[in-house]
């Protein structure tokens, strides 16, 4: 039998991958990170339902159904996931180009909040813009856009990062404008998170260590001065230091004392899902700022530990992704990834610290979990940017082009 070599056309038909780089088996995105994010949001939705189911028993929410907050949180999560999918399709270089404009635009929104008739006030604080169908909290937008702006600023001013006047002062002025508007709302908690984000990115970007320490000490002094000069903030600090005095327990430390009672009842494994007593109109805002207290009461130390570990996973992955991006000379992407990690980590830490009595009471929600449309939406958009950075890292590592 005579053997005949196949023609070039035949060879191409037999081996269609000949001359074509085979696709890498590396995942195109961080699937474990996606599952952790989804788990936190779904877990949060369950706990929001548990924490809010008894709210219609109070006169304030008498016209609400028991499932009102559950339904709205489910809608928030659905819209946020769609926004995240759309955000994932945007290239990181586009975010870098838009960063200054997004920052300035959000600064304008923060100013609009303070205009009578435009800003919406709740419990004495004007932090929202009402658009009939939903309320937008510009401070949540600023947390994300200050990450992008600080990362872009650090890249643009890299050669001046060791200079005080050209390196630090322009960024300090920008953050100072944000802080002034937030303190007028007032929203000291959001300002604290934004300062931590900006300072963290500047530090990672190479700002002089001595100046960083001095600036940090100055900021501590400024925050202390703001508290000292504000009578109601000063009273809140004194109540935090001794929450069990009757006057404090029935006044400024009311939320803190009932939060600590909730954790005390939960012990190791909790009283069981749905079994919280503190959510029965004893603990105000249980479905927002003090959601962790309900988790601690119903699921105990174990439930709280699971939440802490999930947030730790997000923080660790953000820094790993950022480190990889910087190693491939994508400095903006790397600083943005780490900035997102700082944002989520700092806000989660402050919320947990407030719930556990480690920090004075502040109006900060638990990222991805607490009830609220603006917070969940911006969290998802920020984490979608983080996933996009990871995706671009993986494409470049296997020799592809973005």
What is the reported pLDDT for 213?
A: 77
Mean pLDDT per segment of 10 residues, for the chain of length 402 residues? 42 41 59 96 96 88 90 95 96 96 94 84 73 81 95 90 80 89 86 91 81 76 78 79 82 89 95 93 89 96 97 97 95 96 96 92 90 92 97 90 75
Q: Which residues of 113-149 are buried (b: 16+ CB within 10 A; e: fewer)?
A: beeeeebbeeeeebbbbeeeeeebbbbbbbbbbbbbb
Contacts of 245 (CB under 8 A, 6+ apart): 253
Q: What per-residue confidence (pLDDT) applies to 262?
A: 95
The count of C-alpha atoms lying within 13 angstroms of the C-alpha of 45, restricted to the half-sphere facing its C-beta, is: 18
pLDDT of residue 15: 44
State residue 238's pLDDT score.
Answer: 78
**What are the residues facing 135 on neighbouring strands?**
130
| pLDDT value at residue 14 | 41
Burial zone of 385 (CB within 10 Å; 0-12 exposed, 13-18 middle, 19+ buried): buried
Of 66, 30, 37, residue with least CA distance to 51:
66
127: closest CA among 175, 184, 172?
A: 184
Looking at residue 234, its pLDDT comes to 79
Pull the structure tokens for residue 262.
């909730």
């Amino acid at each position: 039998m005579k053997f005949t070599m196949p023609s070039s056309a035949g060879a191409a038909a037999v081996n269609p991958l000949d001359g074509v780089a085979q696709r890498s088996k590396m995942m195109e995105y961080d699937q474990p990170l996606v599952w952790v994010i989804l788990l936190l949001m779904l877990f949060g939705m369950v706990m929001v339902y548990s924490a809010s189911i008894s709210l219609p028993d109070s006169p304030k929410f008498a016209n609400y159904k028991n499932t009102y907050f559950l339904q709205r949180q489910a809608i928030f999560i659905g819209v946020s996931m769609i926004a995240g999918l759309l955000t994932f399709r945007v290239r990181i270089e586009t975010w870098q180009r838009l960063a200054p404009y997004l920052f300035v635009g959000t600064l304008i929104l923060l100013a609009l909040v303070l205009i009578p008739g435009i800003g919406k006030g709740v419990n004495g604080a004007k932090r929202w813009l009402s658009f009939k169908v939903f309320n937008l909290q510009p401070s949540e937008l600023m947390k994300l856009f200050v990450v992008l702006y600080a990362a872009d600023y650090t890249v643009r001013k890299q050669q001046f990062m060791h200079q005080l006047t050209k390196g630090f002062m322009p960024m300090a002025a920008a953050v100072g404008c944000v802080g002034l508007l937030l303190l007028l709302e007032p929203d000291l908690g959001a300002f604290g998170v934004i300062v931590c984000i900006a300072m963290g990115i500047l530090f990672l970007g190479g700002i002089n260590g001595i100046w960083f320490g001095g600036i940090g000490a100055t900021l501590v002094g400024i925050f202390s001065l703001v508290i000292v000069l504000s009578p109601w903030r000063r009273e809140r600090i004194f109540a935090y230091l001794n929450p069990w005095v009757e006057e404090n327990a029935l006044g400024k430390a009311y939320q803190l004392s009932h939060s600590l009672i909730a954790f005390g009842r939960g012990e190791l494994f909790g009283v069981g899902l749905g079994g919280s007593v503190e959510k029965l109109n004893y603990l105000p805002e249980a479905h927002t700022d003090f959601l962790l207290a309900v988790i601690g009461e119903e699921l105990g130390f174990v439930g709280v530990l699971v939440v802490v570990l999930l947030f730790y996973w997000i923080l660790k992955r953000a820094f790993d992704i950022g480190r990889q991006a910087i190693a491939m000379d994508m400095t903006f992407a790397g600083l943005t990834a780490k900035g997102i990690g700082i944002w989520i980590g700092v806000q989660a830490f402050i919320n947990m610290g407030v719930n556990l009595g480690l920090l004075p009471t502040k109006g900060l929600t638990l990222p991805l979990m607490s009830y609220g449309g603006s917070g969940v939406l911006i969290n998802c958009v920020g984490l979608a940017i983080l996933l996009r950075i990871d995706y671009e890292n993986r494409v470049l590592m296997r020799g592809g082009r973005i």
